[in-house]
A and B are shown apart, each in its own frame.
Chain A
Amino acid sequence: MSEMDDMDDGSGIIKKFMFLNRKAPHGTVYALEGLEVVLITAAFDQDVSMVFTDDGVYQLIKGVDTKGIEVKDFSRTYRALEGYDIEKLYVDQKSMDARGLTEEDLIVDVTVLSVDEMANLMAEQDVVISF
């Protein structure tokens, strides 16, 4: 998308944006369309964090094959985030534990945070958008 190359609202303001992903992919559209907002926000040179908690951690799972449900596999987009300078990816330890997942199960490198660390990270944001 050419729109994403470089955008500028002219204000010079850089804010801390957190995108909180709490929903699994495919069952609803929120993960896919949320990802589009994240990419645009990074193009505005904002300080972007992506956080995966609750069923949102399922968005990052390896071994996805969507051919049988005839929808786009957007899981590879998470691997491209680094190319958009989105490097702050966090997952919630408790959510991982509750789903029997470890970092080995995920397609990207993430920082695993405790609930308290996640809470503090959220509290220091300027803008929190949850999909």
Chain B
Amino acid sequence: MQFGILINEGPYSHQASDSAYLFARTALEKGYKVPRVFFYHDGVYNASRLATPPVDDRNVGARWSKLAADYGVDLVVCVAAAQRRGITDGVLGDNYRISGLGQLVEMGIQYDRLVTFGD
């Protein structure tokens, strides 16, 4: 079974990205597939490699990068939402890519479930 995940809020201000990460990691550990995570609205801020949280705190954006490396998850950042918020290819963390909203719609069409995390 394949899960698509939509994240609508940035890191730290809201729990959405943390909840989504724990959901995705658990699903992958249980053997489900999470082929893609889509970042929309302020969710695009998760993709910034410029974030430098304190060392005793989690690095929300970087742990998505690691999950993508470990399990081959496609981390897609909405181009229109990203351009509005100054998230460009030059600031993307590892394993994120910028693409269109069609990538979100495709998750709904092709995967078995779409789970939204937001505010």
Cα-based distance from A11 to B81 in the complex (angstroms): 27
Given A33-B40, A33-B41, A129-B116, decide whether A41 and B81 contact each other with a Cβ distance below 8 A.
Answer: no
Q: How many contacting A-B pairs (Cβ < 8 A)?
A: 55
Residues of A within 8 Å of B118, CB to CB, are 131
**Contact-residue bracket for chain A:** 20 to 34
**Contact-residue bracket for chain B:** 10 to 19
- Check B105 against A44 for contact (C-beta < 8 Å): yes
User: What secondary structure prevails in chain B residues at the interface with A?
Assistant: helix
Contact with A along B14-54 (1 / 0, CB 8 A): 00000000000000000000000000110000000000000
- Check A36 against B105 for contact (C-beta < 8 Å): no
- Check A30 against B41 for contact (C-beta < 8 Å): yes
Residues of A within 8 Å of B83, CB to CB, are none
Chain B 69-119 residues near chain A, CB threshold 8 A: 80-81, 100-102, 104-106, 108-110, 114, 116, 118
Cα-based distance from A41 to B105 in the complex (angstroms): 6
Residues of A within 8 Å of B80, CB to CB, are 33, 36
- Check A3 against B100 for contact (C-beta < 8 Å): yes
Of all chain A residues, the one with the shortest Cβ separation from B111 is A127
- Check A44 against B102 for contact (C-beta < 8 Å): yes
